[in-house]
Structure 1
Amino acid sequence: MADQYAQTGEDKRPTGMPVIRWEEPPEGPVVVLLDQTRLPAEEVELVCTDASALVEAIRTLAVRGAPLLGIAGAYGVALAAVRGFDVDEAALALEGARPTAVNLSVGVRRAVAAYRTALAKNGDTGAAAVAALVAARALHREDAEASARMAGHGLELLDELLPGGGHRILTHCNTGSLVSGGEGTAFAVALEAHRAGRLRRLWVDETRPLLQGARLTAYEAARSGMAYSLLTDNAAGSLFAAGEVDAVLVGADRIAADGSVANKVGSYPLAVLARYHHVPFIVVAPLTTVDPETPDGASIEVEQRPGYEVTEVTAPQVTVTGAGGGIPVAPLGTQAYNPAFDVTPPELVTAIVTEYGVLSPVTAEALAELSARSRQVPIG
């Protein structure tokens, strides 16, 4: 069950805080998550004792962000294996928790493959469970390494495109340490620019309807001492028109084989605005986000979220009255359109920054070549 919480109290952890970890208390192994639905009001940890609890945490966005979902999925498989549950059943449930983020299935399948390979050797379920956990920990470590590499590549690209520093970067949703084994994807690049003294301003989209920008990215920016400003999503156009944006940096939940990018809904309008105003639109994502089995943007399954996320507003520690647990802002019975993601075509993407380098221009051929090259060059 996922109802066991531990208050972190006066948390002084740095921005690169662990948002997921494996623990082995006397009562049995658990996966511990920083509950992101409670931020920024309080830092609370959620303890998952089985895969079903982790599935619920994924669906409710207590744990979120493409790279972190991959790590969570792998730990979920390991948790099922170590506790003696049906691994295949757990893997199926985990993979189906959120359909758009390909990293989730990548992490699940990697841990399952390790489990099955070990089991096939001698039939020892204990050894197979250990193998699944080793695979999950390896993925966790590799994602942290990938994050650091993407930050470096991304800053080099910014300096190349925008010589002189003083970068004014617009970002959408949340792409920092809360979505990663390291310091994130797009946010990690902005953080690298900040540390190098080359970030003039981080513009943070609020990211409706769940306010991941306002609640989470602003939280991380403040903890990092970055110069940042929060804006409503529909204010981005006026910011571009005023010439206040030098580059747009976003993450990705799935990149199709042709270079189409699925990311948090609201990303595609930013790409259109960026193209019109001649501003680079840069996607930062590890290669685990590239899905060669999805041929193009039209083939990406876009998750549809509950309508109450639009018709109600939720906030931690606020009295709620709505059916979805929030404060109603629309008439009862209002129908809502609530896709979690939108898809940006490759022709609107200036570059894709990965741990293995920068892809620009973005084409299917170049993406396939980069993916093939990455398999020949181990990271770390």
Structure 2
Amino acid sequence: MTDTAASHDSIRALKWQGDHLRLLDQRKLPQRTEWVDCTDSQAVVQAIKDLVVRGAPAIGIAAAWGVVLAAQQGADMDEALLALRAARPTAVNLMWALDRMRARIAAGADAQALAVEAQAIQDEDLAANRHMGQLGAALIAPGSGVMTHCNTGSLACAGFGTALGVIRAGVSAGRIAEVFAGETRPWLQGARLTMWELVNDGIPAQLVADSAAAHLMKSGKVQWVIVGADRIAANGDTANKIGTYQLAIAARHHGVKFMVVAPSSTVDMATADGEAIEIELREPSELLGYGGTRTVVEGARAWNPVFDVTPANLIDAIVTERGVIEQPDALRMQALFGA
């Protein structure tokens, strides 16, 4: 397969500056490219809560740098870790990264050593994404059409991407001929962010309304749906951006394959199945308007879950840097990740 390390890969959304963390403000894209400088751990907490930074791996990386900032400034480390941990509840990468930083603190690491650990977390994520890209692309027949949901690219991690990394690798290897991105209401991550990445990196793609997905699959233009994950349970059930579950149902009905791509840090073997995954509910206002403008009649109410859970029996392959699990279940998950 073609080396994809440098192909279609120009975007980095997290930059450590020695005494602060610089984040590409994903709320402003694609209209404006603006950066937010986080000078203490509380600023990182707020950036995670406010979706300045989003995507499970990117949240974990940002939190690791938040720990470094707390150490540099002599903050109470237990308080900083608790605040970072509570920033968003569903993405297990956040907890994984903070547990890794906490272990270094317990071993006596100072701010400099913690910075080395945070950089390692970031570097390892990029390497994992490139490897997953090759593993996932190898499953796709040449000339295929694919659909993706939300944003799982360089903006969501250290670079290259998880599901979008597979698409980048597949396009570079000539396996993917067409890319379709769902808009992803209510924050429009597919429309605003994924399309921005694809255009910036020269990957031809078309945007489709979320409600057009089943019709698109029926047309025969799509052979794979490729998505990321915020948490994968021990049996393979997968929490991801709201709307993923209905895509998996439509894909199964139309004979379209369904692939989940995520680093091993997203796998939570301590969570038995999807029923045990906490689903984050956000403010109804996010659904009742957009960009500060209300689009729904006053007095209307809204239910705004940000994630849903796709059962393992609707997933054809889970791709991690450790390997590929086809037709995932508890036994196959245990074989790769242990108890």
Give the partner amino acid of 1:129: A
Larger Rg: 1
Aligned: 1:209 with 2:203: no
Aligned length: 332
In percent, how many aligned pairs have the same letter? 46
Rounded to whole Å, the distance in 2 between the matches of 1:42 and 1:308 is 23
Instruction: Provide the residue aligned with 1:79 in structure 2.
Output: 69
Instruction: Provide the residue aligned with 2:40 in structure 1.
Output: 50
Give the partner amino acid of 2:275: A
SS of the counterpart of 1:38?
coil
Instruction: Provide the residue aligned with 1:132 in structure 2.
Output: 114
Kindly state the Cα deviation for residue 344 of structure 1 after the two structures are TM-superposed: 0.3
Give the partner amino acid of 2:71: A
Deviation string, structure 1 residues 55-103 (Cα, Å, up to 9, x no partner)? 1110111000011111111111111011111111111011111100000
Instruction: Provide the residue aligned with 1:189 in structure 2.
Output: 166
Instruction: Provide the residue aligned with 1:60 in structure 2.
Output: 50
Rounded to whole Å, the distance in 2 between the matches of 1:221 and 1:369 is 35
Rounded to whole Å, the distance in 1 between the matches of 2:334 and 2:114 is 29
Deviation string, structure 1 residues 174-229 (Cα, Å, up to 9, x no partner)? 00000111201000111111112232111000000000000000001101111210
Instruction: Provide the residue aligned with 1:332 in structure 2.
Output: 298
Q: 1:220 aligns with which of 172, 197, 208?
A: 197
Deviation string, structure 1 residues 31-63 (Cα, Å, up to 9, x no partner)? 111111111111111000111111111011100
Q: Is the CA contact (8 Å cut-off) linking 1:15 and 1:223 kept in structure 2? A: no
Aligned: 1:96 with 2:86: yes
SS of the counterpart of 2:239?
strand
Q: Is the CA contact (8 Å cut-off) linking 1:100 and 1:301 kept in structure 2? A: yes
Rounded to whole Å, the distance in 1 between the matches of 2:138 and 2:174 is 14
Rounded to whole Å, the distance in 2 between the matches of 1:239 and 1:109 is 42
Instruction: Provide the residue aligned with 1:356 in structure 2.
Output: 322
Task: List aligned pairs for 1:235-314, cutoff 5 A.
Answer: 235-314=212-291
Q: Which runs of 5 or more residues in structure 2 are unaligned?
A: 1-7
Give the partner amino acid of 2:145: R
Rounded to whole Å, the distance in 2 between the matches of 1:57 and 1:169 is 32
Rounded to whole Å, the distance in 2 between the matches of 1:167 and 1:42 is 33
Rounded to whole Å, the distance in 1 between the matches of 2:311 and 2:62 is 29
Instruction: Provide the residue aligned with 2:11 in structure 1.
Output: 17
Structure 1 residues 284 and 212, CA, compared in 2 at 3 Å: closer, same or farther?
same
Kindly state the Cα deviation for residue 131 of structure 1 after the two structures are TM-superposed: 2.0
Rounded to whole Å, the distance in 1 between the matches of 2:71 and 2:15 is 16
Length-normalised TM-score, structure 2: 0.96
Deviation string, structure 1 residues 300-327 (Cα, Å, up to 9, x no partner)? 000001101100012xxxxxxxxxxx11
Q: Is the CA contact (8 Å cut-off) linking 1:73 and 1:105 kept in structure 2? A: no
SS of the counterpart of 1:91?
helix
SS of the counterpart of 1:239?
helix
CA RMSD of aligned residues (A): 1.2
Task: List aligned pairs for 1:109-124, cutoff 5 A.
Answer: 109-118=99-108
Q: 1:32 aligns with which of 14, 22, 30?
A: 22
Using CA pairs under 8 Å that are at least 6 residues apart, name the structure with larger relative contact order, 1 or 2: 2
SS of the counterpart of 1:157?
coil
Aligned: 1:156 with 2:138: yes
Rounded to whole Å, the distance in 1 between the matches of 2:72 and 2:116 is 12
The range that moved more, 130-139 or 227-236, is 130-139
Give the partner amino acid of 1:178: L
Deviation string, structure 1 residues 246-273 (Cα, Å, up to 9, x no partner)? 1000000000111100000000000000
Kindly state the Cα deviation for residue 295 of structure 1 after the two structures are TM-superposed: 1.0
Rounded to whole Å, the distance in 1 between the matches of 2:40 and 2:102 is 16
Kindly state the Cα deviation for residue 107 of structure 1 after the two structures are TM-superposed: 0.8
SS of the counterpart of 2:181?
strand
